[in-house]
A and B are shown apart, each in its own frame.
Chain A
Amino acid sequence: MFNYILRRLLTLPVVILGVTLLIFLMMQLLSPYQLLASYIRSPEELKNKDPDTLIKIYGLDRPAGERYIKWLKNIVKGDLGWSNSANMSVVDAIKARFPATLELALYAVIPVVFGGILLGSFAAMHHNQIGDHITRIFSIIGWSLPSFVGGLFILMVFYGVLGWFPPGRLSTWAYQIVYSDQFTSYTGMYTIDALLNGNLKVFWDAIRHLIGPVLTLSYLWWAFIMRITRSSMLDILNKDYVRTGRSKGLPESVVIKKYIRKNALIPVITVGGLMILGLLGGVVIVETVFDFKGIGLLTATAAQQLDYAAVLGTTMFYCFLLVIVNLVVDILYAVIDPRVRLE
């Protein structure tokens, strides 16, 4: 076990270095003039100097190897450049926007993991019965509905027609409360902050704004986790040890919980990692649809305005997040499945 984790940790620096190298290679497709934009913090800096001298000052005319080292040093120091679209440094923009995305992701992931596994095992237990067919159709439709189409439909019906779930993060009156002196910001996640401040009206308003994006972000994963749980449980239902368990007279609930569900969880963990990967991409679209001011919207706006520093900076952030998630998934894998440790 320890050996396995150690070996897994050793690959971490290689992957992280590879990721930075790949991003740096992408940057090489940009001209020095385009790269310069991420160093200029205000128009005044451009007043007395022409771009060519600025390129010299920032060393953008140096050989690629030298620039890569310098760029890496800046990243280690926590400097990802200046974002023109957010009008602040990329690191500050990420810090300001991350709680919103985290809040969205938490509300999306937790119900999916538990609900999806339950529904999936339900479908497997009733293999080829009506319930199985219904979950199958439901999941294929969920899998076929792109989040920007689903999100726009939700917005059209539940905001446009019914007025229930508005876009944005909070209503204007709630923003006024949140930014007032009486309201302390602990986490930046409005639902949690509102509860800690004991303000139920703000809490309810934040929930109302979350329902649309959370639904849009997660319906696809409901479908996916359900299908994976179903097929891996079907696979295990026919195993010899399950038959042995039944034939020696164990109660059905023990067979399901201990023999079947635990083994069926292994592929689900893999999918859990995939889900985080999908969510990271998904937030870009969902936050754009619902005008939800998190990191995803930051990336999307930056991409539309050709703000390279913010696009590359947020990408770096997503990648690091993902590398860590993958590590956790692999370790979880080893904890649950002894065969992995021995490999």
Chain B
Amino acid sequence: MLLKKLIKNPISLFGLILLIGFIFVAIFAPQIAPPNNPDQKYLIPRYGWGSTPKPPSSEHPFGLTEGQYDIFYGLVWGTRSAFWVGLVVVGVSCSLGVLIGSIAGYFGGLFDNILMRIVDIFMSFPFLIAAVVVTTILGPGLNKVMLTMICFYWMDYARLIRGSILAIKEEEYILAAKASGVKDWLIIIRHVLPNTIFPVLVQASMNIGSVVITAAGLSFLGVGAPVGYADWGQMISMGRNWLLGTPENHLAYWYTIVYPGLAIVLFVLAWNLIGDAFRDVLDPKMQS
């Protein structure tokens, strides 16, 4: 039913097709852009040592960026990095948030108060700033970026699920389960979560895009993925120095920015379109 609604709306259908395209590229990356060295698939191969980018050619369809890194190869394998970062960060932080939020919401009292103050403290850090601080301290690398983002991303989910649990906690079926002596954790898993998890899942699907943007932003600032790693943000930061082109042709090096930029925009767009449609489908208020 959900899928049917997604296909019926042209906007969300477009998102679905885009996402399937990216999944295809990620799965068949070894076939689309065969790595020269199978042990270091995520290192973009270099073709020469000069720094000036080279325009697209039949051999390198998207051209070579600063340092002669192959743009096409970086984009294809960067798709895998993007999925990996987005899914892992959202998956782990969402589970963590649901765990903490449901404990706080269900048991309430002092427990709730302490947990929510901890949420307040974590929420006092602008997300990107927190990520910059921790990656500066831990040192660069995609795994450290992901760890940082998980640490500062769970609070939204915790708040969301806590709010919905507070709303249904006094419903008859929960009270009935309590009265008949069902254990607390069973009530949470069997009765509370199935009735409160949907808004969290919608939020999660909408957050994958912003997680990918933040990770790319950190790479752009130079505190994320190392130079030469197949990561879209890192590739944009390599193209940044060539932004203004040559005095004769201001757009001489457009491909160093436009191709990686488009890859990020389309990837995030796909997730946002689907998340937006999800929300409208699942929210009964929007049906009328």
Contacts and interface: CB of A to CB of B under 8 A. Distances in A.
A311 B217 contact: no
Interface string A55-76: 0000000000000000000000
B222 to A, nearest CB: 5
B244 A159 contact: yes
A15 B136 contact: no
A277 interface: yes
B194 to A, nearest CB: 25
A14 B117 contact: yes
Contacts of B243: 152, 155-156, 160
A315 interface: yes
A136 B286 CA distance: 14
A88 B130 CA distance: 23
A15 B254 contact: no
Interface string B117-134: 110111111111110111
A238 interface: yes
Contact of A149 (B236, B251, B273, B286): B236
Contact of B273 (A22, A140, A145, A282): A140
Contacts of A146: 213, 216-217, 264-265, 268
Interface in A262-308: 277-278, 280-282, 284-285, 288, 299-300, 302-304, 306, 308
B146 to A, nearest CB: 17
B13 to A, nearest CB: 14
B200 interface: no
Contacts of B138: 29
Interface stretch (A176-184, A242-250, A318-326, A331-339): A318-326
A312 interface: yes
B257 interface: yes
A19 interface: yes
Nearest to B128: A281
Classify chain B's interface size: 35 or more
Interface string B212-251: 0100110011110000000001001000100111000011
B272 A143 contact: yes
A15 B114 CA distance: 11
Interface in A102-160: 136-137, 140-141, 143-149, 152-153, 155-156, 159-160
A280 B122 CA distance: 15
Interface residues of A, number: 58
A285 B288 contact: no
A22 B155 CA distance: 15
B137 interface: yes
A161 B254 CA distance: 11
A238 B285 CA distance: 9
A11 B121 CA distance: 11
A144 B129 contact: no
B268 A144 contact: yes
A234 interface: yes
Given A235-B285, A284-B132, A318-B126, A144 B265 contact: yes
Contact of A29 (B127, B137, B244, B261): B137
Interface string B45-78: 0000000000000000000000000000000000
Given A152-B236, A234-B286, A303 B269 contact: no
Given A29-B138, A284-B221, A306-B136, A322 B121 contact: no
Given A137-B11, A285-B221, A30 B137 contact: yes
A19 B129 contact: no
Nearest to A27: B137
Given A155-B243, A318-B129, A15 B124 contact: yes
A342 interface: no
A26 interface: yes
A255 B123 CA distance: 37
B209 interface: yes
Given A156-B251, A160-B245, A302-B136, 14 more contacts: A18-B118, A27-B137, A29-B138, A30-B137, A140-B11, A140-B269, A144-B265, A146-B217, A160-B251, A238-B285, A281-B126, A285-B128, A285-B220, A303-B223
Interface of A: 11, 14-15, 18-19, 21-23, 26-27, 29-30, 136-137, 140-141, 143-149, 152-153, 155-156, 159-161, 231, 234-235, 238, 277-278, 280-282, 284-285, 288, 299-300, 302-304, 306, 308, 311-312, 314-315, 318-319, 322-323, 326
Interface of B: 11, 117-118, 120-130, 132-138, 209, 213, 216-217, 220-223, 233, 236, 240, 243-245, 250-251, 254, 257, 261, 264-265, 268-269, 272-273, 276, 285-286, 288
10 contacts: A11-B117, A19-B124, A140-B11, A140-B269, A141-B269, A159-B244, A302-B136, A304-B222, A319-B124, A326-B123
